[in-house]
Amino acid sequence: MSPKRRGWVLGASVAVGSLAAGAGGALLRRRVVASAGPEDQLWTSSFDTPDGKRLAMSDHRGYPLILNFWATWCPPCVREMPTLDRFHRAHLARGWRVIGLAADDLGPVRDFLARTPVSFPIGLAGFEGVELSRRLGNLGGGLPFTLLFGRDGAVVRRHMGESDVDLLAGWAMGVS
């Protein structure tokens, strides 16, 4: 083979190898992103709040957290909000957090909170909130849906339906 031709072959081989390596790296990056679990997606999420601020979930990682998916049109959701609020106020000094993600629109959430104020943060998740709850284990997509996260950011418990004092107290005893 002539030296000129050998140069072309070598150059083409290097180009094909570089292209393959780049494509392989892109596929690997896609797999890493795609393999990020729903908990990882939650902790990188942020939501608008009814008062126009942002609720960054990452600010609450590292604490035991009760995350409640709810809506104003859901009677058991509405009934459990004072219970969640009492839990929040009773356990805040011990590092506990409670967050409500409303699968609802701003207007109804603001109206509800004007009538039934809560001391814990509320995020406006909209319909995407139902999808997020499904990825976190709410297979039926029903509301209310409540999760307990440990300090490590992993789901410890899931509960479909209205939460009560006994359930939350049991969760609080099981996680420090």
Asked whether the predicted pLDDT for residue 21 surpasses 50, the reply is no
Query: Percentage of residues in the chain with pLDDT exceeding 70?
Result: 79
Asked whether the predicted pLDDT for residue 152 surpasses 60, the reply is yes
Max alpha carbon distance in the chain (Å)?
86
The better pLDDT of the pair 129, 25 is held by: 129
Tell me whether the omega of the peptide bond preceding residue 117 falls within 30 degrees of 0, making it cis. no
Asked whether the predicted pLDDT for residue 18 surpasses 50, the reply is no
Q: What is the mean pLDDT of the chain?
A: 85
Map 105-128 to HEC letters. Answer: CHHHHHHHHHHCCCCCCEEECHHH
Homologous superfamily assigned to 39-174: Glutaredoxin (3.40.30.10)
Residues 80, 62: Cα–Cα separation, whole Å = 25
**Averaged over 147-162, what is the pLDDT?**
96
pLDDT for the residue 5:
57
Residues 152, 161: Cα–Cα separation, whole Å = 25
Question: Tens digit of pLDDT for each residue in 34-47?
Answer: 446 888 889 999 99
Sequence ranges of the domains in the chain: 1-35, 39-174
Asked whether the predicted pLDDT for residue 103 surpasses 90, the reply is yes
Q: What's the distance, CA 24 to chain centroid?
A: 30
Asked whether the predicted pLDDT for residue 12 surpasses 70, the reply is no
pLDDT for the residue 26:
39
Query: Percentage of residues in the chain with pLDDT exceeding 90?
Result: 74
Question: Tens digit of pLDDT for each residue in 47-102?
Answer: 999 999 999 999 999 999 999 999 999 999 999 999 999 999 999 999 999 999 99
Contact of 64 with 151, CB cutoff 8 Å: yes
